[in-house]
Amino acid sequence: MIKILLTGINGHMGAAVRKAVSNTENAKVAVGVDLNTAECDGIPVYSSFAEVTEKPDVIIDFSHPSVLDSLLEYAKENSVPCVICTTGLSKEQISKIEFYSKEIPVFFSANMSIGVNLIIDLVCRAAKILENNFDIEIIEKHHNQKLDAPSGTALAIADAISEAVSYNPEYTYDRHSVRKKRDAHEIGIHAVRGGTIVGEHSVIFAGTDEVIEVKHQATSKEVFAVGAVRAAIYLANQKPGLYAMSDLIANS
């Protein structure tokens, strides 16, 4: 039985992870860390890692960027692998994750859905073929409670395309402050916020007289929770290193 420490246990994704774990035979949420320490299905919840006395096998984190430092320190001190799903992390925080992954197994993905990771693969192939004749724009849509914009997934898609094409694209965020024609070697990134949209990402390749659009739509938060639980079970037996959804897909 794999014992999970769930950071953000009382949040929306925390609830989705608890549900996904309850449908998994060989795992259980043993302890939670959350600023909101309300009782949760009989699972002990602490406001910080310093208070945790249980010994988890793996951490799943769906919380807030401010949690990262104490999470990595706790994980290293106690040799606990961690699946980091929180988005809106700074470049410095991502470098920190890479640094800690030399000592502990860390799984880090801005999007835990297998479908999104598949479209990243597809759009990279399309970008290579279309790179000289098509303009690339990314549009993401999320619910009105989301804090960060653009989404970590939109940036991950843009970064993957940047690595796939032969030029070095510049990112243009929205266009209200830019009064000039678009450059052929840029990627436009646009965020829409509203209602309860779970998550939508479209990559548009606009050429002369033709447009190709590759789109992924998540209709429930469960897809991210199920992906995170699969990642946690996979990571619990790995050596130190940095792991991503591509590793999980390759080994499933």
Ligand X SMILES: NC(=O)c1ccc[n+]([C@@H]2O[C@H](COP(=O)([O-])OP(=O)(O)OC[C@H]3O[C@@H](n4cnc5c(N)ncnc54)[C@H](O)[C@@H]3O)[C@@H](O)[C@H]2O)c1
Nearer to ligand X, 74 or 224 (CB): 224
Distance CA 55, CA 25 (A): 20
C-beta of residue 106 within 8 angstroms of C-beta of residue 81: yes
Nearest CA-CA partner of 229 in 19, 34, 10: 19
Residue count of the chain: 252
Where b means 16+ CB within 10 Å and e means fewer, 56-94 reads bbbbbbbbbeebbeebbebbeeeebbbbbbbbebeeebe
Among 2, 59, 85, 126, binds ligand X (CB under 6 A): 85
**Annotated catalytic residue: which of 142, 190, 201, 221?**
142
* Residue 8 within binding range of ligand X, rule CB under 6 A: yes
For the CB of residue 121, give the shortest distance to ligand X in the complex, in Å: 17
* Residue 62 within binding range of ligand X, rule CB under 6 A: yes
Kindly determine how many residues on this chain lie close enough to bind ligand X according to the rule CB under 6 A. Answer: 24
Question: Contact region for ligand X (CB under 6 A) — 5-13, 20-28, 158-166, 184-192?
Answer: 5-13
Cis ω on the peptide bond leading into residue 150 (within 30° of 0)? yes
* Residue 81 within binding range of ligand X, rule CB under 6 A: no
| Catalytic residue annotation | 142, 146
- Residues contributing to the site for ligand X (CB under 6 A): 8, 10-14, 33-36, 62-64, 66-67, 85-88, 109-112, 224
